[in-house]
Structure 1
Amino acid sequence: MSNKGSGTLFGHPKGLFLLFGTELWERFSYYAMRAILVLYLTDKTVSGGLGWSTEDALSLYGIYTGLVYITPLIGGWIADNFLGQRRSIIIGGLLMAAGQFTLALPHSMVDPNATTAFYLGLALLIVGNGLFKPNISTMVGDLYEEGDHRRDGAFTIFYMGINLGALLAGIVAGAATAAYGWKAGFLAAGIGMVFSLVFQMLFAEKLLGDVGKVPAAKRAASMSQTGRNQVLTKQEIDRLKVIMIMGLFVVVFWAGFEQAGGLMNIYTQEYADRMIGGFEVPTAWFQSLNPLFIITMAPLLASLWVKMGDKEPSSPIKFAIALFLLAIGFVCMVGAVLQQGDDMTAKTSMLWIVAAYYFHTMGELCLSPIGLSMITKLAPLRLASLMMGVWFGFNAIANYVAGMIGAHVGESGPLAIFGGIALTAAASGLILVVFSNQLIRWMHGAEGKVATQPETGPNGKPVEA
């Protein structure tokens, strides 16, 4: 029996809360840097920026975020076969801290090579993220035995840590750069990454035990008499089919959800009545609604999943609920556009937009942490971190699709796009409900649920009880 650390807290292993803190500070580091990256690139050199054009800055930003989602595929494979998850997140964390501090180097130390140092910093962040991102999530799942109903709730708590880090990041990075310049923002991000590493190094041995120490492929081989190079079994193939099919619905969800930073953001800026008395609410504040709703609602939802016990919905049904909630959110955006009527100079109530963010966030809580949990249930042990990397790859596709959708606003108009996303999300949710029993059968009881089907005789007809 493997050692999974000591004790429980609020009904969960204490190791969960260590991973919560580790991920919180890593996400703080990531989002603090992301919040100022494009602004730093486009700012004038006399003000400490690099003086790039908006087009070049956004192009680099797209490449950077794409690589951030793709490199976990490689990092997951390395962890599964060579390093193990624990060593991978330490090495990844060190590389990311080095990357942030490289970006924070004073100009006097790097001129005339400021751009070279900048690219080096980004490269360190990308490689470090590839080692860190898939493995910390996999370790959360490893704290629980197969069929443990606490796992979905655990990932919801873990997800709250991600968003608490994101919420703090914008506040701290914004305040640091306003007071001391861009380099201070990168320095704050680096310090956050150091906090993440310190948490992990000080408490991992006591709270995590053996979790994440041994590469997954080696653990799988030790539990099998067939050795290291095992052929996938029929059950494993079925479970991998579930991951790939569910990934398609993930693309639909995130392609709609990611309009928050693009089309919905622009619409809020141009068409929402953001006045409260004599105060105009900054458009950027609406981006804080998502992490705020997650932090307030995640504990309630995590508690709900645990209390439902055997009646807890399966992952496919939770994904369907997420798609329905996404659709409701875009129905709110349709309501905002309809309130304007034909006069596009008119302003619409910002309450429509607040409601949209609320429903989208509730959908996210039914999909994103549940998806992370699902991968740890379904992926073969020897492929656990690799499949977590594949899961993040679906996010990369979704972000690309989201950009393509938003780019058509000039041709189609916001009403057509918001309405089209709502219909697509609702239809996808219905399809998922229809095929949920088949997906549950392919899971082979990984969630403690097995879809019932009538026993059949030699003639293929149901056998009477």
Structure 2
Amino acid sequence: MSSLPNSGEFLGHPKGLFLLFGTEMWERFGYYGMRAILVLYLVAITQDGGFGWSNADALSLYGTFTMAVYLTPLFGGWLADNVLGQRKAIIIGGILMAAGHFIMGVPHAAVAGMEENVFYLGLALLCIGNGLFKPNISTMVGDLYQEGDKRRDGAFTIFYMGINLGGALGPLAAGGVAALFNWQAGFIVAGIGMVISVIMQLVLSKKYLGDIGVVPAAKLSAAQSSTGKKEPLTNVEKDRIKVIFTMSVFSIIFWMGFEQAGGLMNIFANDYTNRMLMGFEVPASWFQSLNSIFIIIFAPLVAMIWLKLDKREPNSPVKFAIALVFLALGFLTMMLALITEGSGEGTMQISMMWLVLFYLFHTLGELCLSPIGLSMVSKLAPLRLASLLMGIWFLCTAIANKIAGLVGSFIGEGHEAVNNAMGIFIGLGATALLSATAMYLLSDKLVDWMHGAEGQHEPHTQEHILAEELEVAAIKQ
């Protein structure tokens, strides 16, 4: 059993919470700062310090990279649980990610002839480091509190606010520096954020976290492991697993559209959006901050709406359907932008407000869907299959990211890109609406298959619901 030193409290919570808050905030600052400029760097012409790749090649790589971001935690979580312990995994992962950022920041002139090989090395280190870091930091938050401590929901609310604060600041800082100096400088800024995260853990964790996360979880639970025979799945468990699989598959549709943000929409912001504001050209990468900013603003409002609805609050499958409608509205917004402001020319420039509306609708959709995912698996999965089924959820998210890159890659180049973008927006919007309809029609059956698990044993307070809305960060990590 982990013990926590009496290091005092801040704002009614253990000070260790704010150490984890800062550690995760700076890691997300680095990751989202790097992600905001990644595709733009790949498509930038070599004279501007980029690789000069086609949109299709850049978006395909982006899809592969973000897919790996969701796959590697499956292995990193196992290593932490069985070999390293959470704290070592976080520190090793953080060091690898910092190295990845800095390697991507090496000037091309310093590695002439090997630029792409060095770049791939940086990405590989980011993927491996993310796998060690990502699945472990959030679980340590819960370990700060004894079972039944009512402060736990509030702690996760604070923690997830930190994640979104990092997600908002990273693109602004890395994107701003990249626009002012060069792409490599932007990656270095991301690396600096990751270094701050690692230093905080190395210097402060012993004082504020005690031995939490030091011993691998498998060793801690070995004494409590069951030696009995495995029981076959009951009919109730089989039905609940059906729900998990069904909603996981539908989540692919949502994330396939939502994850156009860092790829296709990044290129659209850069090439086809009028970004002049009072004589200042807004960096395309800055639009990547909108999602996190909107989460911070609207998560409390969504929580209040669910609280006001009380018994009329939609069930989880209906919330999934609502999320898919918001996804479709985002693409409808871009279709209207092309219709009202499009000239059919490759040089078309739409207003920035269309992009702001696009990200607003998609964030509202995220707030309806993302909190359900982890909660759904934890409520419905048989205990002996919980990790496997959680892995299925993340596997579907990984698949969605790869498909998102492939879909976005159809935008093409120059003149044809505008027409192709309209086709992509129509296709994704229509798919989202059809999926929303199907999910709504299935909702009653899915609730029946949950066998009473929907809403069971959950405190219906504003603080609890706000914590759920902010758990979008648990997916985004």
TM category, shorter: 0.7 to 0.9
Residue 35 of structure 2 contacts residue 262 of structure 2 at CA under 8 Å; is this kept in 1?
no
Alignment check: 8 A CA contact 2:253 2:435 kept: yes
Q: CA shift at 1:431, angstroms?
A: 4.0
Shift of 1:264: 5.3
Answering whether residue 439 of structure 2 is matched by residue 437 of structure 1, we say no
- Corresponding letter in the other structure for 1:426: A
| Alpha-carbon distance, 1:389 to partner | 4.6
1:458 counterpart residue number: none
Partner amino acid for 1:212? G
Query: For 2:54 and 2:433, how far apart are their aligned partners in 1?
Result: 37
Any conservation in 2 of the 1:256–1:402 contact (CA below 8 Å)? yes
Q: In the aligned structure 2, how far is the partner of 1:303 from the partner of 1:14?
A: 28
Secondary structure in 1 aligned to 2:404? helix
User: SS of the residue aligned with 1:71?
Assistant: helix
Distance 1:129 1:26 in 2: 10
Q: Which residue of 1 aligns with 2:469?
A: none
Task: Report SS of the residue matched to 1:82.
Answer: helix
Equivalence for 1:420: 430
Aligned pairs for 1:453-464 within 5 A = none
Can you list the C-alpha shifts for 1:369-389, whole angstroms capped at 9, x where unaligned? Answer: 443455556667787766555
The aligned amino acid for 1:172 is: A
Give the letter aligned to residue 430 of structure 1: Y
1:191 Cα deviation from its structure 2 partner: 1.4
Q: Given that residues 141 and 376 in structure 1 are in contact (C-alpha distance below 8 angstroms), is that contact kept between their aligned partners in structure 2?
A: no
* Matched letter for residue 434 of structure 1: D
How many angstroms apart in 2 are the aligned matches of 1:282 and 1:178?
7
Q: Helix, strand or coil: the match of 2:260?
A: helix
Deviation at 1:318, TM superposition (A): 4.5
Change in 2 beyond 3 A, CA 1:267/1:196: closer
> Is residue 134–residue 389 contact of structure 1 (8 Å, CA) maintained in 2?
no
- Structure 1 residues 417 and 272, CA, compared in 2 at 3 Å: closer, same or farther? farther
> 2:33 aligns to what?
32
Q: Flag structure 2 segments of 5+ consecutive residues without an equivalent.
A: 412-418, 460-477
> Which residue number in structure 2 is paired with residue 399 of structure 1?
401
For 1:70, the equivalent position in structure 2 comes to: 71
Quickly say closer, same or farther: Cα 1:348–1:92, change in 2 above 3 A.
Answer: closer
Deviations 1:291-323, CA, capped at 9 Å, x for gaps = 221222235556777999999876555544433
The Cα of 1:367 is off from its aligned counterpart by 2.7
Contact 2:49 2:182 in 1 (8 A): yes
2:366 is the alignment partner of 1:364: yes
**SS of structure 2 residue aligned to 1:170:** helix
How far apart in 1 are the matches of 2:230 and 2:202? Answer: 34
Q: Indicate whether 1:117 and 2:118 are aligned.
A: yes
Residue 294 of structure 1 is matched in structure 2 by 295
CA separation in 2, counterparts of 1:108 and 1:276? 34
Aligned length: 447
Amino acid at match of 1:402: A
| d(CA) in 2 for partners of 1:236, 1:24 | 37
Alignment match, 2:357: 355
Please state whether the residue corresponding to 2:184 is helix, strand or coil. Answer: helix
* 1:128 Cα deviation from its structure 2 partner: 0.9
Identical-residue share of aligned pairs (%): 57
The residue number in structure 1 matching 2:258 is: 257
Q: State the partner residue of 1:164.
A: 165
What is aligned with 1:461? none
8 A contact 1:99–1:121 mirrored in 2 = yes
Task: Please say if residues 97 and 126 of structure 2, whose CA atoms lie closer than 8 Å, have aligned partners that are also in contact.
Answer: yes
**Take 1:108 and 1:277, find their aligned partners in 2: how far apart are those partners?**
36
Q: CA deviation at 1:127?
A: 1.0
- Provide the rounded CA distance (Å) in 1 between the counterparts of 2:135 and 2:40: 28
Task: Say which SS state the counterpart of residue 212 (structure 1) adopts.
Answer: coil
Q: Structure 1 CA distance, aligned partners of 2:391 and 2:362? A: 24
- 2:334 and 2:355 in contact (8 A); partners too: yes
Instruction: Note the residue ranges of structure 1 that are not aligned, 5 or more in a row.
Output: 450-465
> How many angstroms apart in 2 are the aligned matches of 1:85 and 1:44?
42
Distance in structure 2 (CA, Å) of the matches to 1:119 and 1:112: 14
Question: Structure 2 vs 1, CA of residues 119 and 141 (structure 1 numbering), >3 Å: closer, same or farther?
Answer: same
> Compared with structure 1, are the counterparts of its residues 88 and 432 closer, same or farther at alpha carbon in structure 2 (3 Å cutoff)?
farther
C-alpha offsets along residues 111-144 of structure 1, whole Å, 9 cap, x if unaligned? 5544443332222211111111222233345556
Are the structure 2 counterparts of residues 14 and 65 from structure 1 closer, same or farther at C-alpha, using a change threshold of 3 Å?
same
Q: Secondary structure at the match of 1:74?
A: helix
Provide the rounded CA distance (Å) in 1 between the counterparts of 2:167 and 2:70. Answer: 17
C-alpha distance 415-116 of structure 1, shift in aligned 2 (>3 A): closer
- Taking the aligned partners of 2:316 and 2:145, their CA distance within structure 1 comes to 17
CA 1:119–1:338 in 2, change beyond 3 Å: closer, same or farther?
Answer: closer
Equivalent residues of 1:376, 1:384 under 8 A apart: yes
Distance change in 2, residues 1:92/1:15 (3 Å): same
Is contact 2:33–2:167 with CA below 8 Å preserved after alignment? Answer: yes
- Please tell me the residue identity of whatever aligns with 2:361: F
Local SS of the residue matching 2:227: coil
Shift in alpha-carbon separation, 1:67–1:353, aligned structure 2, 3 A = closer
Once residues 370 and 11 of structure 1 are traced to their aligned partners in structure 2, the CA distance between those partners, rounded to angstroms, is 28
Q: Secondary structure at the match of 1:259?
A: coil
Moved more, 429-438 or 354-363: 429-438
Give the aligned residue type for 1:437.
V
CA distance in 2, matches of 1:75, 1:133: 8
Q: Is the 8 A contact 2:59 2:405 kept in 1?
A: no
Change (3 A) 1:273 1:94: closer
Provide the residue aligned with 2:463 in structure 1.
Answer: none
Residue 417 of structure 1 deviates from its aligned partner by 2.7
Matches within 5 A, 1:128-277: 128-142=129-143, 155=156, 157-226=158-227, 234=234, 241-261=242-262
Distance 1:323 1:67 in 2: 24
Change (3 A) 1:42 1:284: closer
Q: Corresponding residue for 2:466?
A: none
> Is this contact kept in 2: 1:134–1:388, CA < 8 A?
no
The worse-fitting range, judged by mean Cα deviation, of 73-82 and 6-15 is: 6-15
Evaluate the alpha carbon distance shift between residue 434 and residue 256 of structure 1 in structure 2; reply closer, same or farther with a 3 A threshold. farther
Question: Which residue does the alignment assign to 2:85?
Answer: 84
CA distance in 1 between partners of 2:48 and 2:343 (Å): 40
Per-residue deviation at 1:248? Answer: 1.8
Counterpart of 1:455 in structure 2 is: none
C-alpha RMSD of matched pairs (Å): 4.5
Alignment of 1:1-20 (within 5 A): 3=3, 14-20=15-21
Q: CA deviation at 1:192?
A: 0.9
